[in-house]
Structure 1
Amino acid sequence: MKAGVIFTGTGPILILTSYGSLSEPKFVEKLQAKGIMKFIAYELDVDEVRRKYGKKFDYIMGDVLQEDDLRVLDYNGHNVFYNFSFGNLGQPVIVG
């Protein structure tokens, strides 16, 4: 399981995915199918996301399939932006 913050044209979203990487072509295709053609993505520590989102994280995780799945945990850009420090973000994945 991967967690990531995706910076899109409308602001950041927080996702959970069963894809092995945020740069995996099928993951990118899944985002593009949702209308996200250009983005910058950063992988997050899943345990940190779990601590910050608690029951909401558990609820979404219960709905994530084993393979080829993607769920938005938080689409409130303000919330996502301020929940994670830029200093904790790794190398970006840039698409578009």
Structure 2
Amino acid sequence: MKGGIFFTGTGPIVILTTYESFSDALFVEKLAAKGIKKYIAYEVGEDAVKEKYGMHFKVVMGDLRQKDDLRVLDYDGHNIFNKFSLKELGEPVFCEP
């Protein structure tokens, strides 16, 4: 499982996924089905996400209604910017149709 901060047209979201790459065709297709067709993504380590979200991380991971391959952990841009430093982010992945 890996985490990523995705900057989309409606603001940043944090996603957890089992996909190897944020540019994997199936992953891109799943996001497009949710209305996210264009984004800039930065990988963040699973341990960092667990530490920053604590119990919320466990709740989202335990939600049986969601599939393991893609889970939205946070969609509150203000909260995301407070939890993560831009200095923590690595190389971006760009996705544009």
- TM-score (norm. length: structure 1): 0.90
Q: Which runs of 4+ in 1 moved over 6 A?
A: none
Structure 2 unmatched ranges of 5 or more = none
The reply to whether residue 22 of structure 1 matches residue 15 of structure 2 is no
Root mean square deviation of aligned Cα:
1.2
Structure 1 unmatched ranges of 5 or more = none
Q: Post-superposition shift, 1:65?
A: 4.1
Alignment coverage as a number of residue pairs: 94
Sequence identity, in percent?
60
**CA deviation vs aligned residue, 1:41-78 (integer Å, no higher than 9, x gap):** 00001101101101110111123645xx2111011011
CA–CA separation in structure 1 for the residues paired with 2:49 and 2:43:
11
Q: Is the 8 A contact 1:18 1:65 kept in 2?
A: no
Q: Post-superposition shift, 1:20?
A: 1.5
CA–CA separation in structure 2 for the residues paired with 1:25 and 1:37:
12
In structure 2, the residue matched to 1:90 is 90
- TM-score (norm. length: structure 2): 0.90
In structure 1, the residue matched to 2:11 is 11
Correspondence list, 1:35-74, <5 A: 35-63=35-63, 65-66=67-68, 69-74=69-74
